[in-house]
Amino acid sequence: MLYAVASLAGIGLIIGLVLAYAAKIFAVETDPRIEAISGVLPGANCGACGYAGCAALAAAVVAGQAPTNACVVGRAPVAEKVAAIMGGQADNAAGKQVAQVLCQGGKEVASTKYEYEGIKDCKAAMLVAGGPKSCEYACIGLGSCAEACPFGAISIDAAGLPVIDADICTGCGVCVKTCPKHVLELVPEDSLVQVRCHSNAKGAAVRSVCQKGCIGCGLCAKNCPVEAITVENNLARIDYAKCISCGACAAKCPTKAITVTGKNEMPAQAAV
């Protein structure tokens, strides 16, 4: 009996020594900068940088595969810390972007085809005849974007439309990827003028299903003093590099598909 116990103990000791030796031989050294960079990243693991998570981004930065400003959530402050760890200057950080809702087709504005009573998920609802809204481009409004937002920057209002809290939004883009109707996009934070529609239907078709959809009339483009608006495929589009947020386009839009954030009144030049 004692012999058997001793034999087992000896075998266990030998196996342990072999494993310890193998662990030492095959150990992969980790660059300490990876852990240091992971420590200054936000830890959101949102994937907006193009990597699976913050740890993966840290490894990519150390390997020279990602710039020091790759974290869109942390922006310049984090980029500076990452650059300091890497022993260099921070790459130029892009300006903050925030999510924008490309739809005003909420309750009493857009017509519906049926009452949806299934799973509270926009992708699931879309499988049923493209969703309950008559407009094929309209927001379904079940809040999948709000559920997906890792920062709690999105809520659903009484009209059944997403509301973005720009102060909380980090521009990570998770909501944009989540929306099956593509009614969310990222725009520069200081962009006050917004085309709140993304329908490519012709004017008559838009009017038949939504009161505030873009009808592609072109009045916005004709009245823009800096030629920042074009109408492509029946939809107005803003070039934010040119836009001066004067509000002239919003003042002329017959369906109010264009809005100006943060302004209760149009500037004097927009009212003409």
The answer to whether the CB of 175 falls within 8 A of the CB of 102 is no
Within this chain, do residues 182 and 238 fall inside the same structural domain, yes or no? no
What pLDDT does 268 receive?
38
Mean pLDDT of the 257-269 span:
61
Domain that holds residue 153: 96-186
Mean pLDDT of the 122-151 span:
95
CATH (domain of 148):
3.30.70.20
Question: Does position 141 have pLDDT exceeding 50, yes or no?
Answer: yes
- Which of left, alpha, beta for 67 (phi over 0: left; psi -120 to 50: alpha)? beta
Question: Does position 271 have pLDDT exceeding 80, yes or no?
Answer: no
Within this chain, do residues 198 and 270 fall inside the same structural domain, yes or no? yes
Within this chain, do residues 163 and 108 fall inside the same structural domain, yes or no? yes
16 assigned to some structural domain? no
Within this chain, do residues 182 and 205 fall inside the same structural domain, yes or no? no
> 142-170: per-residue pLDDT in tens?
999 999 999 999 999 999 999 999 999 99
Within this chain, do residues 206 and 268 fall inside the same structural domain, yes or no? yes
Angstrom distance (rounded) from CA 210 to CA 187: 24
Model pTM score: 0.75
Question: Does position 76 have pLDDT exceeding 50, yes or no?
Answer: yes
How many angstroms separate the first and last alpha carbons of the chain?
Answer: 103
Within this chain, do residues 122 and 75 fall inside the same structural domain, yes or no? no
Extended beta strands in the chain, E state: 97-101, 154-156, 162-164, 184-188, 193-195, 229-232, 235-238, 258-260
22 assigned to some structural domain? no
Nearest to 125 by CA among 108, 142, 147, 149: 142
272 assigned to some structural domain? yes
Question: Does position 27 have pLDDT exceeding 60, yes or no?
Answer: no
What pLDDT does 183 receive?
96
> 198-230: per-residue pLDDT in tens?
999 999 999 999 999 999 999 999 999 999 999
Within this chain, do residues 214 and 166 fall inside the same structural domain, yes or no? no
247 assigned to some structural domain? yes
CATH (domain of 57):
1.10.15.40
Distance between alpha carbon 125 and the CA centroid of its chain, in Å?
Answer: 21
Amino acid at 186: L
80 assigned to some structural domain? yes
What pLDDT does 133 receive?
96
* Residue in the block written with tokens 């329908």: 199
Q: How far is CA 254 from CA 106, 151, 216, 249, in A?
A: 18, 36, 10, 10
Within this chain, do residues 217 and 182 fall inside the same structural domain, yes or no? no
